[in-house]
Structure formats: C-alpha cells, structure tokens
A and B are shown apart, each in its own frame.
Chain A
Amino acid sequence: QQQVRQSPQSLTVWEGETAILNCSYENSAFDYFPWYQQFPGEGPALLIAIRSVSDKKEDGGFTIFFNKREKNLSLHIKDSQPGDSATYFCAAAYTGGADRLTFGKGTQLIIQP
C-alpha cells in the first residue's frame, strides 16, 4: 500500500498561472512533509517543507497548504515560469524516524510559455 500519493501524475499549465500539486498520506504519525524538486539528470533538491503543527508555509512563490484532519497537502506554485518545469516529489517523515523519508511517485510539471 502506497504511503504517500501524489496527483496528478503530470500537469501542464501556462506561464504565469498557479500550478497546484496534490499529496495525501496514510500514516498519521508523519509530521514532517518536504517537497523536492528534481530536474532531469539531477538529484532531488529540497524546495520547501512544512511540519504538521502548521497549516501553511510560504517561501517565495511556493506555498504549502496542509490539512492534518484530511491527511493531505498541496503545493501551489504562483506565477509559474518555464524554469519551474521539473518533477516534484512530496515526501513524509516522522519525528524520531531518523529522517527516513517516504516519497510519492512525483508530479511532472510542464510550464508552457
């Protein structure tokens, strides 16, 4: 059973629009949720992260909205640019989990100019 699910698998938006990437999880013990951005041929790089005590985290044009009761979260990319085209992975971990990250399968985001 997949612990972290992402949707959609692939998303295309126009430059300047807000892209919304979704993530849900199974394990209520998860309390740390990082999003990783990966470009082709590169390793995943931490983009933004949220802890379960918060319901929103903003960093530049990236915002995470977190709903603990529903066990889901979303990443909003405001004013998206072609350079934001990448694969985005939602991950989850729990305190004391020795940073054992559980990843989703990723959303491939394409920003059309």
Chain B
Amino acid sequence: GPKVLQIPSHQIIDMGQMVTLNCDPVSNHLYFYWYKQILGQQMEFLVNFYNGKVMEKSKLFKDQFSVERPDGSYFTLKIQPTALEDSAVYFCASSLGINTEVFFGKGTRLTVV
C-alpha cells in the first residue's frame, strides 16, 4: 500500500541544538500531519498542513516548532532550539483529502540529551 517514509528513524541531539525531521509523504497526497508520542502515552496531534500553509496546530506545537514543504519535496518538522521535553517519537502522516484515510510513517525517535 501507499507508504510514508520518515528519515532518520532515530536521532540524538544535544539540548539547544536545531533538528529537522524529514518526511516523504505519499506522492499524490495533499494534506500532511505531524503527531508526537511520548513513551507510554497516546499519539497527540501537533499540526496539519495544506497548500503550503499550516491549517491547524495544537498547543503542543510550540513557537520553537516550524513546518514546511519546500519545492513539494520533503515535509519537514524543525525544532529550534530543542528542549529535553521534546524527546518523543514523531509520526508524519498524509492523506489525499479531508475525511480520507490517513497514512502514517514509522516514526522518528528523537532523543534530546
């Protein structure tokens, strides 16, 4: 079936540094999402993105977070600067439209030390 690819699968970064998480969504999809999952907790919505713009963001989407999809390539989540509480698994997802199936990637485990 359609695949959402996330690179890298695991990243370790020093607190205060910048990190960019990359996502290659399903090729004809138009809506893109990031979710965050802290170990042992549920996945929580961060942000969704359509037509080059953020449509909606949750209160977990701090000012240090930003998303973009330059030149229609990777959909990225940038955190600058990182904090210890940013350690989590970040899942990228995409869908063809609103109210259509959402496909998830395998996640990137971010460890901030």
Contact = CB atoms under 8 A, between A and B. Distances in A.
Chains A and B belong together in one complex: yes
Interface of A: 2, 4, 32, 34, 36, 41-46, 89, 95, 98-106
B42 A106 contact: yes
Interface of B: 1, 4, 6, 31, 33, 35, 40-45, 48, 55-56, 58, 91, 93, 95, 98-99, 101-107
Contacts, number: 57
27 contacts: A2-B42, A32-B99, A34-B102, A36-B104, A42-B106, A43-B4, A43-B6, A43-B91, A44-B43, A44-B104, A45-B1, A45-B103, A46-B101, A46-B103, A95-B99, A98-B31, A98-B55, A98-B56, A99-B31, A99-B33, A99-B48, A99-B99, A100-B56, A101-B35, A101-B45, A103-B42, A104-B42
